Amino acid sequence: MSPIDQHLLALEPQARERVWGGQRLRPSNPPIGEMWVAYGPSRVMGGRYAGRTLDDLAVEFGPDLMGTAIAGRNGARFPLLVKLLDCADWLSVQVHPNDEQARRMVGPDEPGKTEAWYFLAAEPDSQIILGVKPGVDQAQLGRAIRGGSIGDVAAKLDVLAGEAVLVPAGTLHALGPGLLLYEIQQASDTTYRVYDWDRPTSTGRKLHIEESVEVTRAVVAAPAVRPAVPAGTGTSDAIECPYFDVDLVWVAADGGPLATDTAGRRFHILTVLAGEIELARGGERLGLGRFETALVAGSAGAYEIWATAGPATMLRAAVPD
Protein backbone atom coordinates (compact mmCIF):
# COMPACT_ATOMS: atom_id res chain seq x y z
CA MET A 1 0.00 0.00 0.00
CA SER A 2 1.60 3.29 -1.13
CA PRO A 3 1.67 6.24 1.29
CA ILE A 4 -0.74 9.12 0.88
CA ASP A 5 1.05 12.29 -0.24
CA GLN A 6 -1.68 14.89 0.31
CA HIS A 7 -2.86 15.17 3.91
CA LEU A 8 -5.10 18.27 3.84
CA LEU A 9 -8.20 17.46 1.79
CA ALA A 10 -10.88 20.07 1.07
CA LEU A 11 -14.26 18.39 0.61
CA GLU A 12 -17.00 19.32 -1.86
CA PRO A 13 -20.37 19.91 -0.14
CA GLN A 14 -23.43 18.17 -1.55
CA ALA A 15 -26.77 19.98 -1.27
CA ARG A 16 -30.00 18.14 -0.51
CA GLU A 17 -33.43 19.62 -1.24
CA ARG A 18 -35.91 19.18 1.61
CA VAL A 19 -39.56 20.20 2.01
CA TRP A 20 -38.67 21.76 5.38
CA GLY A 21 -35.50 23.51 4.18
CA GLY A 22 -34.58 27.20 4.28
CA GLN A 23 -32.43 29.66 2.37
CA ARG A 24 -29.40 30.11 4.66
CA LEU A 25 -27.18 27.37 3.24
CA ARG A 26 -27.88 28.19 -0.41
CA PRO A 27 -30.76 30.20 -1.94
CA SER A 28 -32.84 27.68 -3.86
CA ASN A 29 -36.34 26.68 -4.88
CA PRO A 30 -37.06 23.92 -3.86
CA PRO A 31 -35.27 24.86 -0.65
CA ILE A 32 -31.99 23.33 0.54
CA GLY A 33 -32.41 21.65 3.92
CA GLU A 34 -29.13 19.79 4.19
CA MET A 35 -25.54 20.22 3.05
CA TRP A 36 -23.62 16.96 3.35
CA VAL A 37 -20.09 18.19 4.02
CA ALA A 38 -18.16 15.03 4.96
CA TYR A 39 -18.97 11.35 4.35
CA GLY A 40 -17.73 8.42 2.32
CA PRO A 41 -18.85 9.69 -1.12
CA SER A 42 -17.52 13.23 -0.46
CA ARG A 43 -15.21 14.31 -3.28
CA VAL A 44 -11.88 16.01 -2.75
CA MET A 45 -11.54 19.50 -4.20
CA GLY A 46 -8.10 20.36 -5.51
CA GLY A 47 -4.72 18.75 -5.35
CA ARG A 48 -3.48 15.34 -6.38
CA TYR A 49 -6.71 13.57 -5.40
CA ALA A 50 -9.21 16.05 -6.87
CA GLY A 51 -12.46 14.29 -7.77
CA ARG A 52 -11.66 11.18 -5.71
CA THR A 53 -14.04 10.17 -2.92
CA LEU A 54 -13.09 9.49 0.67
CA ASP A 55 -14.32 5.93 0.18
CA ASP A 56 -11.87 5.52 -2.74
CA LEU A 57 -8.99 6.93 -0.74
CA ALA A 58 -9.82 4.82 2.30
CA VAL A 59 -9.57 1.67 0.19
CA GLU A 60 -6.32 2.75 -1.45
CA PHE A 61 -4.53 4.21 1.56
CA GLY A 62 -6.15 2.52 4.57
CA PRO A 63 -4.46 3.70 7.80
CA ASP A 64 -2.71 6.59 6.03
CA LEU A 65 -6.09 8.24 5.49
CA MET A 66 -8.09 6.85 8.39
CA GLY A 67 -5.40 6.59 11.07
CA THR A 68 -3.96 3.45 12.61
CA ALA A 69 -6.61 3.29 15.36
CA ILE A 70 -9.55 3.60 12.92
CA ALA A 71 -8.57 1.74 9.73
CA GLY A 72 -10.41 -1.56 9.36
CA ARG A 73 -12.72 -0.93 12.28
CA ASN A 74 -15.76 -0.36 10.03
CA GLY A 75 -14.81 -2.51 7.07
CA ALA A 76 -14.77 -0.43 3.88
CA ARG A 77 -17.35 2.05 5.21
CA PHE A 78 -16.26 5.58 6.09
CA PRO A 79 -17.60 5.82 9.64
CA LEU A 80 -19.06 9.34 9.88
CA LEU A 81 -21.50 11.65 8.14
CA VAL A 82 -21.35 15.38 8.86
CA LYS A 83 -24.07 17.76 7.68
CA LEU A 84 -25.23 21.34 7.99
CA LEU A 85 -29.02 21.72 8.34
CA ASP A 86 -31.28 24.75 7.80
CA CYS A 87 -34.76 24.17 9.23
CA ALA A 88 -37.59 26.48 8.16
CA ASP A 89 -40.28 24.03 9.32
CA TRP A 90 -40.55 21.01 11.60
CA LEU A 91 -38.70 17.92 10.42
CA SER A 92 -40.51 14.63 10.79
CA VAL A 93 -40.59 13.00 14.21
CA GLN A 94 -38.25 10.06 13.78
CA VAL A 95 -36.02 7.47 15.38
CA HIS A 96 -32.98 5.40 14.39
CA PRO A 97 -32.01 1.82 15.29
CA ASN A 98 -28.95 0.89 17.31
CA ASP A 99 -26.18 -1.29 15.86
CA GLU A 100 -27.76 -4.62 16.80
CA GLN A 101 -31.19 -3.58 15.50
CA ALA A 102 -29.75 -2.26 12.24
CA ARG A 103 -27.90 -5.53 11.58
CA ARG A 104 -31.09 -7.47 12.23
CA MET A 105 -33.64 -5.18 10.54
CA VAL A 106 -31.66 -3.62 7.68
CA GLY A 107 -28.66 -5.81 6.82
CA PRO A 108 -25.71 -7.63 8.40
CA ASP A 109 -23.23 -4.87 7.56
CA GLU A 110 -25.45 -1.92 8.47
CA PRO A 111 -24.60 0.26 11.48
CA GLY A 112 -27.12 1.96 13.70
CA LYS A 113 -27.36 5.70 13.97
CA THR A 114 -26.45 7.76 16.98
CA GLU A 115 -26.25 11.44 16.08
CA ALA A 116 -25.63 14.82 17.69
CA TRP A 117 -26.45 18.46 17.02
CA TYR A 118 -24.60 21.71 17.63
CA PHE A 119 -26.84 24.74 17.08
CA LEU A 120 -25.27 27.56 15.05
CA ALA A 121 -28.32 29.84 15.09
CA ALA A 122 -31.73 29.64 16.74
CA GLU A 123 -34.62 32.03 16.30
CA PRO A 124 -36.51 33.04 19.46
CA ASP A 125 -38.57 30.18 20.95
CA SER A 126 -36.89 27.54 18.76
CA GLN A 127 -37.62 24.02 19.95
CA ILE A 128 -36.73 20.41 19.33
CA ILE A 129 -38.40 17.13 20.24
CA LEU A 130 -36.09 14.87 22.23
CA GLY A 131 -37.20 11.75 24.08
CA VAL A 132 -40.48 11.41 25.95
CA LYS A 133 -42.15 13.19 28.83
CA PRO A 134 -41.40 11.96 32.37
CA GLY A 135 -43.60 9.04 33.37
CA VAL A 136 -44.26 7.75 29.85
CA ASP A 137 -43.63 4.00 29.67
CA GLN A 138 -42.92 1.71 26.73
CA ALA A 139 -46.54 0.59 26.36
CA GLN A 140 -47.84 4.18 26.27
CA LEU A 141 -45.18 5.09 23.74
CA GLY A 142 -46.13 2.20 21.45
CA ARG A 143 -49.82 3.14 21.60
CA ALA A 144 -49.00 6.76 20.77
CA ILE A 145 -46.88 5.78 17.76
CA ARG A 146 -49.56 3.46 16.40
CA GLY A 147 -52.39 5.87 17.17
CA GLY A 148 -50.84 8.96 15.62
CA SER A 149 -50.78 10.78 18.96
CA ILE A 150 -47.02 11.05 19.44
CA GLY A 151 -47.40 14.70 20.41
CA ASP A 152 -49.06 13.61 23.64
CA VAL A 153 -45.93 11.79 24.88
CA ALA A 154 -43.03 13.53 23.11
CA ALA A 155 -40.88 15.98 25.10
CA LYS A 156 -40.21 19.45 23.62
CA LEU A 157 -37.09 21.40 24.62
CA ASP A 158 -36.16 25.01 24.02
CA VAL A 159 -32.69 25.36 22.48
CA LEU A 160 -30.26 28.22 21.91
CA ALA A 161 -27.33 28.89 19.59
CA GLY A 162 -24.13 27.48 21.06
CA GLU A 163 -25.80 24.47 22.67
CA ALA A 164 -25.17 20.81 21.80
CA VAL A 165 -27.45 17.78 22.05
CA LEU A 166 -26.61 14.08 21.85
CA VAL A 167 -29.31 11.88 20.26
CA PRO A 168 -28.55 8.23 21.05
CA ALA A 169 -30.05 5.55 18.80
CA GLY A 170 -33.59 4.74 19.92
CA THR A 171 -34.36 8.31 21.04
CA LEU A 172 -37.47 9.99 19.61
CA HIS A 173 -36.47 13.30 18.02
CA ALA A 174 -37.30 16.13 15.64
CA LEU A 175 -35.84 19.53 14.77
CA GLY A 176 -38.10 22.59 14.79
CA PRO A 177 -38.23 25.71 12.61
CA GLY A 178 -35.71 28.51 12.95
CA LEU A 179 -32.67 26.31 13.56
CA LEU A 180 -29.35 26.29 11.71
CA LEU A 181 -27.11 23.50 12.92
CA TYR A 182 -24.19 21.14 12.52
CA GLU A 183 -25.11 17.45 12.66
CA ILE A 184 -22.75 14.50 13.05
CA GLN A 185 -23.82 10.87 12.96
CA GLN A 186 -22.78 7.34 12.32
CA ALA A 187 -22.63 6.72 8.58
CA SER A 188 -26.12 5.30 8.27
CA ASP A 189 -29.11 6.38 6.20
CA THR A 190 -31.63 4.35 8.19
CA THR A 191 -34.46 6.54 9.50
CA TYR A 192 -37.81 5.38 10.80
CA ARG A 193 -40.38 8.15 10.44
CA VAL A 194 -42.95 8.24 13.26
CA TYR A 195 -44.99 11.32 12.33
CA ASP A 196 -44.67 13.90 9.53
CA TRP A 197 -47.01 16.70 10.62
CA ASP A 198 -49.72 15.55 8.20
CA ARG A 199 -47.62 16.40 5.15
CA PRO A 200 -48.62 14.42 2.04
CA THR A 201 -47.18 10.90 2.12
CA SER A 202 -44.83 10.05 -0.74
CA THR A 203 -42.41 7.25 -1.51
CA GLY A 204 -39.60 9.25 0.04
CA ARG A 205 -41.55 10.32 3.14
CA LYS A 206 -43.57 7.29 4.20
CA LEU A 207 -44.11 6.43 7.85
CA HIS A 208 -42.49 3.41 9.51
CA ILE A 209 -44.88 2.67 12.33
CA GLU A 210 -44.00 -0.89 13.36
CA GLU A 211 -40.27 -0.35 12.95
CA SER A 212 -40.57 2.77 15.13
CA VAL A 213 -42.46 0.85 17.82
CA GLU A 214 -39.69 -1.76 17.87
CA VAL A 215 -36.71 0.57 18.18
CA THR A 216 -37.96 3.65 20.08
CA ARG A 217 -37.13 3.70 23.79
CA ALA A 218 -39.23 5.45 26.41
CA VAL A 219 -36.38 7.59 27.71
CA VAL A 220 -36.23 11.09 29.13
CA ALA A 221 -33.34 12.56 27.16
CA ALA A 222 -30.40 14.43 28.62
CA PRO A 223 -30.70 18.23 28.35
CA ALA A 224 -28.74 20.37 25.93
CA VAL A 225 -25.27 21.43 27.07
CA ARG A 226 -23.31 24.58 26.27
CA PRO A 227 -19.62 23.89 25.53
CA ALA A 228 -17.27 26.43 27.02
CA VAL A 229 -15.90 28.95 24.53
CA PRO A 230 -12.10 28.94 24.84
CA ALA A 231 -10.53 32.14 26.13
CA GLY A 232 -8.26 32.94 23.22
CA THR A 233 -6.83 30.18 21.04
CA GLY A 234 -7.84 26.75 22.32
CA THR A 235 -10.38 23.93 22.29
CA SER A 236 -13.18 22.61 24.47
CA ASP A 237 -15.21 19.40 24.42
CA ALA A 238 -18.57 19.82 22.68
CA ILE A 239 -19.86 16.27 22.12
CA GLU A 240 -18.60 12.88 23.26
CA CYS A 241 -19.95 9.38 22.65
CA PRO A 242 -18.52 5.98 21.62
CA TYR A 243 -18.93 6.76 17.90
CA PHE A 244 -17.53 10.28 17.59
CA ASP A 245 -16.25 13.22 19.54
CA VAL A 246 -16.42 16.88 18.57
CA ASP A 247 -14.34 19.79 19.86
CA LEU A 248 -15.18 23.47 19.64
CA VAL A 249 -12.04 25.17 18.33
CA TRP A 250 -11.28 28.88 18.61
CA VAL A 251 -8.27 30.56 17.01
CA ALA A 252 -7.57 34.19 17.90
CA ALA A 253 -6.64 36.63 15.16
CA ASP A 254 -3.36 37.75 16.68
CA GLY A 255 -2.30 34.91 18.96
CA GLY A 256 -0.49 32.63 16.54
CA PRO A 257 -1.76 29.23 15.39
CA LEU A 258 -3.39 26.39 17.23
CA ALA A 259 -0.95 23.48 17.15
CA THR A 260 -2.67 20.11 17.02
CA ASP A 261 -1.85 16.53 16.05
CA THR A 262 -3.57 13.44 14.67
CA ALA A 263 -0.77 11.36 16.28
CA GLY A 264 -1.12 9.05 13.27
CA ARG A 265 -4.11 7.42 14.95
CA ARG A 266 -7.26 9.07 13.56
CA PHE A 267 -8.39 11.52 10.90
CA HIS A 268 -9.83 14.93 11.81
CA ILE A 269 -12.79 16.64 10.11
CA LEU A 270 -12.75 20.43 10.41
CA THR A 271 -15.81 22.58 9.61
CA VAL A 272 -15.47 26.36 9.83
CA LEU A 273 -18.35 28.11 11.60
CA ALA A 274 -17.06 31.69 11.55
CA GLY A 275 -14.06 33.47 10.07
CA GLU A 276 -11.43 32.04 7.74
CA ILE A 277 -8.56 29.67 8.46
CA GLU A 278 -5.45 28.20 6.92
CA LEU A 279 -4.31 24.68 7.72
CA ALA A 280 -0.56 24.12 7.58
CA ARG A 281 1.36 20.84 7.58
CA GLY A 282 4.96 20.93 6.39
CA GLY A 283 4.78 22.45 2.91
CA GLU A 284 1.04 21.84 2.56
CA ARG A 285 -1.41 24.75 2.96
CA LEU A 286 -5.20 24.77 2.71
CA GLY A 287 -7.53 27.73 3.19
CA LEU A 288 -11.14 27.35 4.36
CA GLY A 289 -13.99 29.83 4.76
CA ARG A 290 -17.30 29.77 6.62
CA PHE A 291 -19.16 26.44 6.33
CA GLU A 292 -16.29 24.85 4.39
CA THR A 293 -14.94 21.47 5.49
CA ALA A 294 -11.67 19.57 5.19
CA LEU A 295 -10.40 16.18 6.25
CA VAL A 296 -6.93 15.96 7.77
CA ALA A 297 -5.56 12.50 7.03
CA GLY A 298 -4.75 10.30 10.00
CA SER A 299 -1.10 10.08 9.02
CA ALA A 300 -0.74 13.88 8.93
CA GLY A 301 0.65 14.06 12.45
CA ALA A 302 1.34 17.59 13.68
CA TYR A 303 -0.38 20.49 11.89
CA GLU A 304 -1.39 24.07 12.62
CA ILE A 305 -4.61 26.06 12.31
CA TRP A 306 -4.22 29.78 11.60
CA ALA A 307 -6.97 32.42 11.65
CA THR A 308 -6.52 34.59 8.55
CA ALA A 309 -9.36 37.15 8.68
CA GLY A 310 -10.13 37.93 12.30
CA PRO A 311 -10.88 35.26 14.91
CA ALA A 312 -12.13 31.90 13.64
CA THR A 313 -14.39 29.26 15.15
CA MET A 314 -14.75 25.68 13.95
CA LEU A 315 -15.81 22.21 14.98
CA ARG A 316 -13.31 19.36 14.83
CA ALA A 317 -14.73 15.84 14.65
CA ALA A 318 -12.99 12.50 15.02
CA VAL A 319 -13.69 8.86 15.85
CA PRO A 320 -12.59 7.95 19.39
CA ASP A 321 -9.52 5.74 19.42
**How far is residue 318's CA from residue 321's CA, in Å, rounded to a whole number?**
9
**How far is residue 288's CA from residue 283's CA, in Å, rounded to a whole number?**
17
- Chain mean position to CA 214: 25
- Chain mean position to CA 307: 23
**Cα→Cα distances 95→149, 195, 212, 249, Å:** 16, 10, 7, 30
Q: Is 282 helix (H, G, I), strand (E, B) or coil?
A: coil
Q: Peptide bond preceding 31: is omega within 30 degrees of 0, i.e. cis?
A: no
Active-site entry in 193, 265, 266, 281: 193
265 is catalytic: no
Instruction: Look at residues 112, 117, 88 and name the one whose alpha carbon lies nearest to residue 100.
Output: 112
- Chain mean position to CA 154: 23
Q: Is 226 helix (H, G, I), strand (E, B) or coil?
A: coil
> Would you name the residues annotated as active-site residues?
193
